[in-house]
Structure 1
Amino acid sequence: MESELLTRGLLYLSLAVAGIPGNTAVIYAFLSALHHERRLLPADAIVLHLALANLLVVAVRCVLEVLATFRIANVFNDAGCKGVIFVYRTSRSLSIWLTFVLSAYQCLSITPPGSRWAAARETFGRLLWAIFLAVWIINISVSSPSIVFSEGAKNDSKLLQNSINVQFCFVNFPSTYVKDANGAAQTVRDVVPMALMTAASLVILVFLYRHSRQVKGLRGGSGGGRGGAAGASAERRAAVTVVTLVTVYVVLYGVDNGLWVYTIMVRQTMSSALISDLRIFFSSLYAATSPAIIIMSNKKVKRNLRWGREERAAPASETGTSSTV
């Protein structure tokens, strides 16, 4: 195997090894919370949905790329390319939009009780199902051209002027106009939530800065109740988590979208497959690394993962005890 293919396969394998267990753990933790508490807070439901989208990104794209690169199995015929590219693009963009939805909700969550923004937060929580539905419709609609234009790479030497080479597949557009229109739609779909989540994160950072100054000013006073302080601390931890996720997103997807704009603006060259690989890698890197941020910073996830380990350990200890009696 060529060293370039070996490196490619190992990189995708590392994303799969990190992303699949991480996102599965986050999903398990929130499903466990739903089982124990009989409900999920809106922020928890958004993070659960985000983990599902990230799991699809890593499982559908990275795992299949590994299998094809190492010639274990190759599903990239015409039907396989249509399905894989559609699911990947939809789940990737869902990850982007859900990160924005999470940042918007957290921005509303830090507002003081009784304000009109607090009322907007309550409305946001009630209509969360409609927001999820709208996000799905938007992203499926923009990703649907991949079902029509994607096909397997039957002849690697044949690359049409209006085609995009994605290693094992081609996306063949019928004209330059269709290619540019599809590229513009995908760019707008990604840039809009990026700009909005960046603005929401800036609002959160300004709030955290002002709040820290207020705390310093009141530190010499009598202080408030411990319950209020604990609640504020939880909100700050959640806010910092969201800002961290948004920062990672902006860095990784900024590179991804920059490469995408380059792909649709220049004529095809021999390096187009490499550029496509870099795009997939950077967008999948967010899906693989974001669970680590969530697990490290979310106490509910940590608690439910710990409960899961204790529940698995309990039957084993009971079996050991009964065997010794």
Structure 2
Amino acid sequence: MPSEEFVHGMLYVSLTVVGVPGNTAVILAFFLLLHKENQLLPADAIVLHLACANLLVVGVRCLLEIVASFRLASIFGDIGCKAVIFVYRTSRSLSIWLTFVLSAYQCLSIAPPGSRWASARALVAHYLGFVFLFLWILNTCMSSAAILFSFGRQNNSSMTNHGINVLYCYVHFPSKLSKEANGAAQVGRDVVPMALMTVASLIILVFLYKHSQQVKGLRSSSGGSGRSGGAEQRAAKAVVVLVTLYVALYGIDNGLWVYTLTVRRTMSSSLISDLRIFFSSLYAALSPLVIIVSNRKVNGRLRCVVQEKPVKEKATSLSTM
């Protein structure tokens, strides 16, 4: 096996080792919380949905990249390629839009009670199920091109320059116009939520800055040393970190995608496609770590699970004596 393929495979192994357990832990923590409290707050439901989408991104695409790196790519036929690329694109775009929904909801959450924005937050919370349904329908429809244009590697003899090599499959477009139109739709689908979540994050940062200035003023006037913060502030900071991570990694991803659309021969090398998949999968692998560290509910549930396990083992050993 060439060293390039080995390094490629090991990179995706590292993403899988981090991303699958991380997202699974977040999902498990929220299900335990749901079992205990019989309900989830809207922000928690969004994070749970985001973790599910990220788990699909890492579990589907990274595992298949590993399989392809170790020269098992021939197992994918046309149907397998269509299914894999469709699921990956749908879950990837869902991850993007859910990150935007999370940032927008958190932006509304820091609005003062009784304001117009607080009313909008209550409206979003009430219809959150419809928001999820709309996002699923939107992203499923926008990913439908993968069903038409994805083929197995055994059919590569009929491919033209209007295609993209993704190592174990080919995404083949019938013409340059269809390729550019599909690419423009994907870039627009990513750039729109990117711009909106950036605006929401800037609003959050302005609020946090003003809040810290007010706290400093209160400290200086009262001579106290109280701590600023609260659940909303901690959650807002975590959302800003997630959005920053998204903009950095998906910004590179979309930049490489635009480059792919502008060069003539992308079928001869899969390097650009590999880099795009890696950076988009990197967000899905790292975001659960941010959630686990910053979300006290997730952190607390996971600690309870870890602490309960040795207690149960100890009780079992005592009962057998």
Partner of 1:33: 33
Find the aligned partners of 1:2 and 1:158 in 2 and give their Cα distance. Answer: 27
Structure 1 stretches of 4+ with a deviation exceeding 3 A read 71-75, 155-159, 220-224, 269-272
In 2, are the aligned partners of 1:108 and 1:117 still within 8 Å (CA)?
A: yes
After superposition, the Cα gap between the structure-2 partners of 1:270 and 1:89, relative to the gap in structure 1 and judged at 3 Å, is: closer
In 1, are the aligned partners of 2:20 and 2:59 still within 8 Å (CA)?
A: yes
Structure 1 unaligned residues grouped into runs of 5+: none
Q: Which amino acid letter does the alignment assign opposite residue 180 of structure 2?
A: D
Find the aligned partners of 1:276 and 1:141 in 2 and give their Cα distance. Answer: 22
In 2, are the aligned partners of 1:46 and 1:101 still within 8 Å (CA)?
A: yes
Partner of 1:254: 251
In 2, are the aligned partners of 1:64 and 1:74 still within 8 Å (CA)?
A: no
After superposition, the Cα gap between the structure-2 partners of 1:145 and 1:223, relative to the gap in structure 1 and judged at 3 Å, is: farther
Q: Which amino acid letter does the alignment assign opposite residue 239 of structure 1?
A: A
Partner of 2:191: 191
Find the aligned partners of 1:322 and 1:148 in 2 and give their Cα distance. Answer: 61
Find the aligned partners of 2:47 and 2:181 in 1 and give their Cα distance. Answer: 32
Instruction: Measure how far apart 1:315 and its partner are.
Output: 2.4
Partner of 2:278: 281
Q: Could you tell which deviates more after superposition, 247-256 or 66-75? A: 66-75
What is the percent sequence identity of the aligned residues? 64
Write the deviation string for residues 78-132 of structure 1: whole angstroms up to 9, x where unpaired. 1111011000011011110000000000000001111111111111100111111
Partner of 1:3: 3
Partner of 1:163: 163
Q: Which amino acid letter does the alignment assign opposite residue 280 of structure 1?
A: I
In 2, are the aligned partners of 1:89 and 1:143 still within 8 Å (CA)?
A: yes
Partner of 1:48: 48
In 1, are the aligned partners of 2:260 and 2:266 still within 8 Å (CA)?
A: no
Partner of 1:128: 128
After superposition, the Cα gap between the structure-2 partners of 1:87 and 1:269, relative to the gap in structure 1 and judged at 3 Å, is: closer
The total of aligned residue pairs comes to 320
Instruction: Measure how far apart 1:306 and its partner are.
Output: 1.2
Instruction: Measure how far apart 1:262 and its partner are.
Output: 1.0
In 2, are the aligned partners of 1:152 and 1:170 still within 8 Å (CA)?
A: yes
After superposition, the Cα gap between the structure-2 partners of 1:179 and 1:302, relative to the gap in structure 1 and judged at 3 Å, is: same
Selected match of 1:291 from 288, 293, 298: 288
In 2, are the aligned partners of 1:64 and 1:75 still within 8 Å (CA)?
A: no
Q: Which amino acid letter does the alignment assign opposite residue 90 of structure 1?
A: T
Find the aligned partners of 1:146 and 1:184 in 2 and give their Cα distance. Answer: 15
Find the aligned partners of 2:268 and 2:277 in 1 and give their Cα distance. Answer: 14
Instruction: Measure how far apart 1:268 and its partner are.
Output: 1.5
Partner of 1:239: 236
Write the deviation string for residues 272-309 of structure 1: whole angstroms up to 9, x where unpaired. 41100000000000000011111011110011011212
After superposition, the Cα gap between the structure-2 partners of 1:271 and 1:200, relative to the gap in structure 1 and judged at 3 Å, is: farther
Q: Could you tell which deviates more after superposition, 302-311 or 135-144? A: 302-311
Find the aligned partners of 1:52 and 1:271 in 2 and give their Cα distance. Answer: 34
Selected match of 2:265 from 251, 264, 268: 268
Instruction: Measure how far apart 1:72 and its partner are.
Output: 5.3
- Secondary structure of residue in 2 paired with 1:164: strand
In 2, are the aligned partners of 1:19 and 1:287 still within 8 Å (CA)?
A: yes
Instruction: Measure how far apart 1:73 and its partner are.
Output: 7.0
Instruction: Measure how far apart 1:311 and its partner are.
Output: 3.1
Partner of 1:23: 23
Alignment of 1:57-206 (within 5 A): 57-71=57-71, 75-154=75-154, 159-206=159-206
In 2, are the aligned partners of 1:9 and 1:70 still within 8 Å (CA)?
A: yes
Find the aligned partners of 2:295 and 2:75 in 1 and give their Cα distance. Answer: 37
Instruction: Measure how far apart 1:74 and its partner are.
Output: 5.1
Structure 2 unaligned residues grouped into runs of 5+: none
